[in-house]
Structure 1
Amino acid sequence: MKLGVGLPVSGSWATPDRILPIAVRAEELGYDSLWTFQRLLAPEGLADQYRSVLDPLLPLAFVAAQTWRIRLGVAVVNLPFLSPVILAKQLATLDVLSGGRVDAGIGTGWQPEEFTATGASLGERGARVAEYVSVLRTLWTEKWPEHSGRFYEVPRAEFEPKPVQARVPVLLGGTAPAALRRAGRIADGWISSSSATQQDVAPMIRLIRQGAEEVGRDPETMRFICRCAVRVREPGRADRRPLTGSFAEIRGDVERLAEQGMTELFLDLNFDPRIGSPDADPQVSMRVAEELLDAFSPLRD
């Protein structure tokens, strides 16, 4: 199973002098990927890890210049907030600058205030997904792309530069049965939410695989990626929940996720309120992150 790392993008440790060392160290230790997430606004009462979040694509461009092998993933950009032409241009540019290392995670959003602020509609989000993905792929692959659909209109024109990758992996989020089957039908893989590990993910993976089979796709080609919102704590707590505890306890949880069918995962400390909060001590956050990177390094296996 491939293993990645969430970049420091939320809270007090989301600074250049911490983002870059984490990226470089992760590559040195053999990790496969680096990940970010999107949050535009933090209404009152939202969890600490959402109060101060960097843009999801710019940190990936920032670390692309100082890394060479490790893949760069966003989990996820919410499609209602951006025209597909804008996102296609941003991701193609990142793919060029990184030498073809982009994984494009796409979601539909959930926070009403963000829809209001961006002028987006909460309605028919699911119905837009397939067309949105089609527009992205058309722009990335055709010499003279054009599109006329229910939701999006792209006049015939050149779209350059193309991504370096012949096929930029499009990874869909979502947990509803319809969203899971859709991922199997049209995407290259699925990315879990930060709360998915509190559930049994095996039924979700089965629905995705069924969606792939329904349209004649080989489900074995699908990627199943888990965001592991880890919280490093003292071992042996009676009320311990998945991915919370000692490194040994977290490793056991990771192994169980692999047994359920996950093909990739990334360890994300941003969702720990002791780390992803603007009030957290960034030096403590970095110490925990460095210890976690060393403990789970793929080079140790």
Structure 2
Amino acid sequence: MMMNPVLRREIKTVLRSWKMFAVLTAYVAIVTIGAVIFIYGTMFNSYDYSFDPEEITWMYVVLCAIQMGLILLAAPAMTAGCISGERERQTLDLLLMTKMSPLSIVLGKLMSSMATLILIIIATLPIFSIVFYFGGVSIFSLLIMFLFIIATACMACSISIFFSCIFKKTVVSMVVVYLLIGGVFCIGTLIVVVLQRGIYYTMYQTDPGLTFPLVVLCSNPGVGFFSLIDNQLGTDMIYSQLYYAYKNTSFLNTIVKHYWVVNFVFDIVISMVFIFLATIFVSPVKKRK
């Protein structure tokens, strides 16, 4: 099976550069520092400066949260310039003149970014081995978490490629992606749900139900992440918040308990939509013809 030419070229150029080594080192260092701070913080909070192995499960939460946050920051930064960068270097026209289809070009750029992000995620496995040493979290749970983070990264990369096709400047596309993912998906959805509940309760003096929050929050990667943590550790952070806020005992509660699956499916669907849109906008000349 022939490898995508764009993917082959990107792998050769990116993995051989010192920037990749610097990014990988900085990423692993940040995750390591988070683990060290958690361990020392746990020891100094105890009376006899001892370490409770049962609290290692919360170290898993901290490391996964750091991983999730760094991926959401790194994915747009690594992908937002994949098409606009070619345009700035005046090499996009040469790329479009080849026999490759727009879909092959977009998928090549996407797979290149995803390969780099997966390599970065795999590099943190030795740090997560501390969790396995003390127990409390299975390897299967970690694999599911990594799969969820990879799906979130794929969503962020797909959106970044789309805006990279639209805007000519890499900085502009990167800012727009951060505003969409951080401002709309993460923060905006929470604000909308809070405002909707307040307005609805003021007008009708009753709870609005779970349907609207479940639809709006499906795009929120933070809600999906903590829902997966609830499912793996039995903490019920997301479920308890929605239950006490809406007091809904319908079948929707079952969806709330496994809401990370809804967010996972949303990431896959959004990725496919933005990849399709990127294939349309990557070659406006061919589109006009």
Question: Which interval holds the TM-score relative to the shorter structure?
Answer: under 0.3
Higher helix share: 2
- Structure of higher CA gyration radius: 2
TM-score (norm 1): 0.26
**TM-score relative to the length of structure 2:** 0.27
